[in-house]
Amino acid sequence: MILTVTPNPSLDRTYEVPALERGEVLRATGERTDPGGKGVNVSRAVAAAGHRTVAVVPLGGAPGALVAELLAGQGIEVAPVRVAGHTRSNIAVAEPDGTLTKINAPGPELTADEAEAILRSVGVHAPTADWVACCGSLPRGLAPEWYAELVARAHGHGSRIALDTSGPSLLAALSARPDVVKPNVEELAEAVGRPLATVGDAVKAAEELRAAGAGAVLASLGADGQLLVSKAGVLHGYAAVAAVRSNVGAGDASLAGFLAAGGEGPGALAAAVAHGAAAVQLPGSEMPTPADLNPSAVTVTADVPLDRALSE
């Protein structure tokens, strides 16, 4: 079972439009309403692959009730933590060329008691989890050190932890030694405080995160594939994608594929790349099913192209 923790979940509405024109009335050609938040998306992808998952989510108000309903409808076991504020609602506008414009609401401000209730819920479910995926931004009311506390408590239950967050929250959590961290290239650059121009730069930055406490780094390089940097060495995974429809949740789908495939080694990296490549070809934040995957298109190699310039 994969347990996910999403401190700031959302109700996500995605509209597809021919073009985004500022100040005009736009008529959507398609729309979706999905439960959102990075950990929620990981659970959705795990469930779509046919595996058991439990989602710990603070939920409040009518949007929170709808998030719980939508998750249950996708075969996800929901462990709700009731909060006084309303779950946030986000808007995304997708254009045919893959350009995505997002408006993310801040979400509720959690109290100290609500923050502790989330940690207690994790403690209830973590002992039976193969992995605990802690994902996304922290809502108002939670200090950057909150993820470090979560990682420490989950480790206390014998759980392996995958952490997908950024900024101060990521840096503060490294001392708690998460088993895997999953930054994208922008988040990786922010973590080490310098721009990354090549794949080799990204590898060096990932090694710095490992030196600071991360067991392994699964780094998304966008069109340049993914890196897995661990004690076993450095691996590069890649799959060509003909056309990007929406990149919403693609990184979360990658993490789900990685964890469902065991969370280490070339097989898990190949699964991560296959899930990410499939996700960007789907509308909105739809998660790929096994039928959407094309494992034969994935290449994983230890011959990492260190001198390759990263795509902008």
Which active-site residues does the annotation give?
252
Q: Which residues pair with 279 in a beta bridge?
A: none
At CA 240, angle to CA 255 and CA 53, rounded to 5?
20
Q: What distance in Å separates the CA atoms of residue 33 and residue 64, rounded to the nearest whole number?
A: 13
Q: Judging by DSSP bridges, how do beta strands 180-181 and 216-220 pair with one another?
A: parallel
What are 72's two structure tokens?
């249950």
Quick one: the chain helix, strand, coil %, rounded to 5? 40, 25, 35
| Angle, alpha carbons 9-10-12 (nearest 5°) | 145
Question: Do the beta carbons of residue 237 and residue 270 sit within 8 Å?
Answer: yes
Show the tokens assigned to 55.
């989602």
Cα–Cα dist 309/312, whole Å:
9
How far apart are alpha carbons 178 and 153 in whole angstroms? 11
